[in-house]
Amino acid sequence: MKTFFLPRIRDVLFFAIFAGVLALGPQMLNMDGDLPRHLLMGKIVLETKTVPTTDIFSYVYEGRPLIPHEWLAGVIFFLFYSKLGLDGIVLLSALLLSITFTLVYDYALLRCGARFPSLILVVWGAATSSLHWLVRPHLFTMLFLAIFLILADRLIRDEFKQVWLFPVLMVIWANLHAEFVAGLLVLAAYCAGWIFDIFLKRTNINFVLGKRLGVATILSILATLVNPAGFHTWETVFGYVNNRYLMLRIMETRPPDFSQPQFLILLALLIFCIVLVLLRIRKLGTGTLIALAGFSAMSIFSARNVHLYGVVAPVLLACALTGSAEIPALKTLEKIFAVVERSVRGFLWPGVTVFLLSGLLLGGQLGMVNEFSAKTFPVRALNWLEMNPQHGRMFNAFDWGGYILFNMWPTQLAFIDSQTDVHGDITREYERAISLEEGWQDVFTKYDIRWVIIPKKWHLVGALAFQGWRDVYHDELAVILVRP
């Protein structure tokens, strides 16, 4: 007898991730200052029906070329925000993450053939990626990476022939987030694996398959050019990655510190990956091994890539677990899961989850308030500025730039924000000023800065006060100083 009211394992996974993200919503909104800037970009695009290609956010870079490689994510974020407020942004994030890992589980189960090992692998990957569960465009990247991986893996197995789908997806991805490069790396890994198989004189080389891989890769590369900045979008990608100054100064671009507890789950997954590959290497294709090695290395070199590894590892390691259902310790458990799953057809549970939890969140029944926290952003200071506007150029804290722009643009442009400086020029001057390095006063003279809004605890506050700058507002977090 089929039971239509019981959830399947995939439904439980979907519910757990969706509910987990809702619970983390207030934290995810306030971990950095990127979201307000994305919201502003989305608002501008929707109101003007154009995508800015010159900088209109920082007076330092005003008029210079701008690479809006995340404009589409900003539009989607703002659409949800305009209808549902920040609750809508959290709901979108929950939906993206739960769909991503449900797709990963479905494919891992298809390749592994055992529910429990697949579930453990996917939950492990999700937990690893949770280090970067922030409300940013990279949530779209995680979903598109999962789709690209699945389609590419099916393509290499000759189970999928619709090559045109890769460039179509890439056009969307390249306008959502700069990490679209991850999709190209997946295709490149499989192409390299196919070529290696030829040199290794493997039998049964499928040249039609190689042609499909090559076409998918070339068309996907060309598809990345379909964006407001054209080929200039690659300047941002390579310029940022090759900029050692910025890479060393941004915390998330540094290598993960495995002495910190939050990175131990990544370390464990990396070790498990190495051990599993050594034990079951014959079950993994050459392209799969190259992709695993590449994304493993990326997660070691930069903490910013951890969320990618959390998606890649479960998909690619699943086939190495083929036959695990026959392990004595798992056999009985797997039989129980199989019997239950065969009798369950509760396919509506993901929809019920979204509908029910969304209703509870929007109705204020979950006891959570999704807002920009006054402990993170200068909320009270900007409320004061609304009634007491300051004139002239301002100097602001890096992490506050996006929030200030979202609330004050176009009346006030920022000195710096988390999206503006991809070259490092302004970051150097910013660091010189806040660190009170030799010549720090020159920064304020050079840009004719008339007032500042910075954290109250900074030493710069005392230095400016000593120079005669007036304290016109302060609270527990922020201070506003005006030049004499």
How far CA 154 is from CA of 147, 223, 294, 474, in Å, comes to: 11, 21, 19, 59
DSSP annotation of 8? P
Rounded CA-CA distance 107/220 in Å is 23
Question: What is the model's pLDDT at position 349?
Answer: 74
Look up residue 23 and give its two tokens: 């619970």
* Tokens encoding 208: 């039609």
Q: How far apart are the first and last CA of the chain?
A: 81
Residue type for 157, please? R
Q: Tell me, what's the pLDDT at 443?
A: 94
What is the H or E stretch that residue 455 is in?
strand 449-455
User: Could you tell me the two tokens for 407?
Assistant: 């609330």
Burial of 129 (0-12, 13-18, 19+ CB in 10 A): buried
Q: Name the β-bridge partners of 455.
A: 478
Q: Which tokens go with 17?
A: 């991730």
Q: What is the dihedral of CA 239, 240, 242, 243, to 10 degrees?
A: 110
| Cβ count within 10 A of residue 74 | 25
Distance CA(169)–CA(155), nearest Å, equals: 15
DSSP letters along 62-128, please?
TTSB---TTHHHHHHHHHHHHHHHHHHHHHHHHHHHHHHHHHHHHHHHHHH--HHHHHHHHHHHHHH
476 close to 427: Cβ distance less than 8 angstroms: no
* pLDDT tens column, 152-163: 999 998 888 899
* pLDDT, tens digit, 9 for 90 and up, residues 176-221: 998 999 999 999 999 999 998 888 776 677 788 889 999 999 999 9
Residue 470: count of CB within 10 angstroms of its CB: 12
Query: Both tokens of residue 58?
Result: 């920082």
Per-residue model confidence (pLDDT) at position 241: 62
CB 220 within 8 A of CB 164: no
Low-confidence ranges of the chain (pLDDT < 70): 1-6, 202-203, 239-252, 324-326, 328-332, 336-347, 367, 420-424
Residue 479: strand pairing partners: 454, 474
User: Residue 150 has what pLDDT?
Assistant: 96
389 prior amide bond cis, ω within 30 = no
Torsion angle defined by CA atoms of residues 334, 338, 344 and 349, in that order, rounded to the nearest 10 degrees = 50
